[in-house]
Chains A and B, each alone.
Chain A
Amino acid sequence: MSKKTKLTLISIIACIGILFILNSTLGSYQLRILNLCGIYVILALSLNLINGFVGLFSLGHAGFMAIGAYTSALLTMPPEAKEMNFFLKPIVPWLANVQLSFPIALFMAGVLAAGAGVLIGAPVLRLKDDYLAIATLGFSEIIRVIFTNTQSITNGALGIKGLPYIGIFNKASEAIWWTWGVAIITIIFMALLINGSYGRAFKAIREDEIAAEAMGINLFKHKLMAFVIGSFFAGIGGALLGHLMGTIDPLMFRFLLTFNIVLIVVLGGIGSITGSVISAVIVTIAMEALRVLDGDMQIGSYIIKGIPGTRMVVFSALLMIVIIFYQRGIMGTNEFTWDWILKRQKKISEPLNKEKVS
């Protein structure tokens, strides 16, 4: 085993240890935020694969998340709960009595979202830049409109309430292993994918499509592959998000949700896995912490009336500032690698040695 693999294994074990400690010490509110962080890591990575590494500007993430969330919800809920939800119009018979265990439903959520990715990607990926963005945005809106209108499958605008907890044992404390487990798997998968030959092809397409094609890269195949992988993870992220929230309805999957993920990817650095992970955690925590702005604030004896919505003003302004003045984001296209750490260590220790000599 090489030194780097060892370091990776050690750090994964350390992560599990930290998660275990956090899981047993934090309160339920903090744990919820921690879970949300994990989910946003998955979502940001899946969007970054499409937007950052292949350079396809897709704005359809909310649609894939909706597919994932609804699939997993309908597959895991017990028949009685479904009956209670669908009181306006009964659920279609072939879905009424289906109840699968959570891991299978989660996987199915990803597979269905990936299937939708193939259906959408095959025609749309011929387009470029802003046309692609608006077409994918259009598809995600169509998915939302369809979900609002298919009352007997998705319960329409009423949404679905009472989704089971994340996990097999129906306990709240189990969630963190699933959210961060999937997140860590996603990180490893993306790192392997990006550093492999496919990743190089993706980056070549991002830099110059025509040159990449001239080098023998099959543009359509690689674009579709990235798009489908991205939608698979988006579906899984959406499913986890649905189970964490406990309720889902079509309005949840508006463009705003995609915007949040675009924000995370841009802040982290378009085309950096490390950046996406860091900024997913920071943005999720900041979104919760800045809730203070929406409520009333007391400074000394003054009470500043909070206006609901201020939080989102801060975030949209932040996005504008980053994109105008500091386009690299947190990491640019740099990655955290063991090579980089080892080099840094050498650099730090070398001058010290020299000083000793002199």
Chain B
Amino acid sequence: MALQTILQHLVNGISLGSLYALLAIGYTMVYGILRLINFAHGDIFMLGTYIAFYSMTAFFLPWWISFLIAIIVTCIFGIVLERAAYRPLRDSPRISVMISAIGASFLIENLAIVVFGGRPKAFPIPTIFSKILNIGGVSIVSVSIFIPIITAIALFILNYLVNNTKIGMAMRAVSKDYEAARLMGINVNNIISFTFGTGSILAAIGGVMWGLKYPQLIPLMGLMPGLKCFIAAVVGGIGNIRGAVLGGFILGLGEILIVAFSPTLSGYRDAFAFVLLIVILLVKPSGLLGQNTTEKV
């Protein structure tokens, strides 16, 4: 295989990995605080893409305004989802909350089928993102360069937010110990809303960029990436933001490279994530960067 081809696959893998990383962070933050798999996170991602699509095609807004609107509306939606589906069950057994999450996911998907229609739609790509660049014999679509850069900026801001601000400190406190944080005078409900909002913003950024890279929209498009990104979060160590990024990149690069190096396995591409999950759970259940916890009676 020529060096150019390998580089091309690497670029593809890195941009897919960045998208996975953005989504995985949403899962890992929510899990860190609520111990809940937010099954609907993949559908929030889908909504972000659709909102950007409609503000560009139905309201004829310029692309950057559309993307901003998508991010804001998705953020609001994420907060509303938490209030409606998860907050009433704060003190219920974990299985109930998870069923509620699955129900919310299916409700959003089915509503999307009814409202948006089940037929696939083509995401309009602004020319700035569809230029073909030629760097040292490797031809790359410009969006593949934009994705890692935007992801890096988003991650930098998130890192600052979590580690250097007061609200970030509160988030870390709630995720360490829910009850103790509440006793210290932290408004836990606000922090949870804030977490869902942040996660949804990242999902919307990921969704819009997903639309630019894979411009086919269907209401169920969030299902598979959602599951895979949860797996990425588990692989990296759930509750750990750096772990989620690492897991996202492992998954994205792995998927692309497996198909690149052995095309006979291309049919099994979707199974890669699940095999990786089961291997990780059996070998190191706390994930690559996670901490071991022991259950006490």
Residues of A within 8 A of B (CB): 51, 55, 57, 123-124, 126-127, 129-131, 133-135, 137-139, 141-142, 145-146, 148-149, 210, 255-256, 259, 262, 266, 270, 307-310, 312-313, 316-317, 319-320, 323-325, 327
Contacts and interface: CB of A to CB of B under 8 A. Distances in A.
Contact of B37 (A127, A133, A312, A317): A133
B161 interface: no
Given A135-B278, A141-B227, A313-B110, 7 more contacts: A130-B36, A134-B231, A134-B234, A139-B278, A146-B271, A309-B118, A320-B103
Contacts of A259: 102, 106
Interface string B91-128: 01011101110111011011101100010000000000
B114 A142 contact: no
Contact of B107 (A135, A313, A327): A313
Contacts of A256: 106
B89 A319 contact: no
Nearest to B271: A145
B277 A123 contact: no
Contacts of B37: 130, 133-134
B136 interface: no
Contact of A324 (B100, B275, B285): B100
Interface in B65-111: 85, 88-89, 92, 94-96, 98-100, 102-104, 106-107, 109-111
Nearest to B89: A324
Contacts of A134: 37, 227, 230-231, 234, 277
A326 to B, nearest CB: 11
26 contacts: A130-B37, A134-B37, A135-B281, A138-B227, A139-B274, A145-B267, A145-B271, A146-B268, A149-B267, A255-B223, A262-B99, A262-B102, A266-B99, A308-B114, A309-B110, A309-B114, A312-B110, A313-B110, A316-B103, A319-B99, A319-B106, A319-B107, A320-B100, A323-B100, A324-B89, A324-B100
A256 B220 CA distance: 11
Contacts of B231: 134, 138
A57 B274 contact: no
Nearest to A265: B99
Interface centre among A51, A57, A130, A148 (most CB of B within 10 A): A130
Contacts of B271: 141-142, 145-146
> SS class of chain B's interface: helix, strand, loop or mixed?
helix
A320 B95 contact: no
B297 interface: yes
Interface string B166-199: 0000000000000000000000000000000000
A-B complex: 6 closest residue pairs judged by Cβ atoms: A138-B274, A316-B107, A309-B113, A149-B267, A316-B106, A319-B103
A123 B280 CA distance: 12
